[in-house]
């Protein structure tokens, strides 16, 4: 019995908690975050002296760095907020949009948007030369319509 309890606490409980309920015509449906690898195809592609290097994938998250002539200038990420309703709060009172999606400033060096009420696309500057305007321009280079269609 004790072994069964330990298995439940270590294996099953984290799986159950990784889902969040959503309203669906009066019933509750559990939504699991998508695999991080599913997001890579929506990231911007290499351009001129800029190179996109994928650095991390895990459940509900993918990350890449943007290099300019071999120097990291920014970090790109896509997060599935299916298990993180707190991440949605910063977009609720948003008065700005990028690419038709609500936008938010994340600290002094980050810009994020919320796509299809579920996917957070964020760019963080790693170099002072990479400005807010640069972050906005690169966010618009994501395949936002494709990402929205995942929902």
For 71, the token pair is 């120097």
pLDDT reported for residue 8: 37
- Res 42 pLDDT > 90: yes
- Closest by CA position to 47, among listed 76, 24, 19, 21: 76
pLDDT reported for residue 86: 83
The structural domains of the chain, with segments of one domain joined by +, span: 1-32, 33-149
Categorize the per-residue pLDDT at 37 as very low, low, confident or very high, splitting at 50, 70 and 90.
confident
Over residues 71-91, the pLDDT tens digits come to: 999 999 999 988 787 888 889
Class of domain 33-149: alpha beta
Contacts (Cβ under 8 Å, ≥6 apart) of 36: 56, 57, 58, 59, 60, 61, 62
pLDDT reported for residue 1: 52
Q: What does the pLDDT average to over 24-53?
A: 80
CA distances from 8 to 2, 5, 36, 121 (A): 10, 5, 26, 34
pLDDT reported for residue 30: 60
Percent of the chain whose pLDDT exceeds 70: 80
- Res 134 pLDDT > 80: yes
């Amino acid at each position: 019995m004790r072994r069964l309890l330990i298995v439940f606490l270590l294996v099953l409980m984290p799986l159950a908690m990784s889902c969040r309920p959503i309203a669906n015509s009066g019933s509750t449906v559990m939504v699991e975050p998508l695999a991080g690898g599913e997001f890579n195809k929506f990231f911007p592609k290499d351009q001129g002296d800029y190179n996109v290097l994928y650095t991390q994938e895990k459940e509900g998250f993918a990350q890449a760095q943007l290099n300019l002539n071999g120097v990291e200038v920014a970090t790109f990420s896509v997060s599935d907020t299916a298990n993180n309703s707190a991440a949605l709060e910063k977009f609720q009172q948003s008065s700005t949009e990028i690419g038709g999606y609500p936008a938010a400033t994340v600290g002094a060096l980050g810009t994020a948007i919320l796509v299809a009420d579920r996917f957070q696309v964020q760019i963080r500057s790693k170099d002072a030369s990479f400005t807010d305007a640069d972050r906005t321009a690169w966010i618009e280079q994501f395949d936002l319509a494709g990402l929205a269609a995942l929902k």
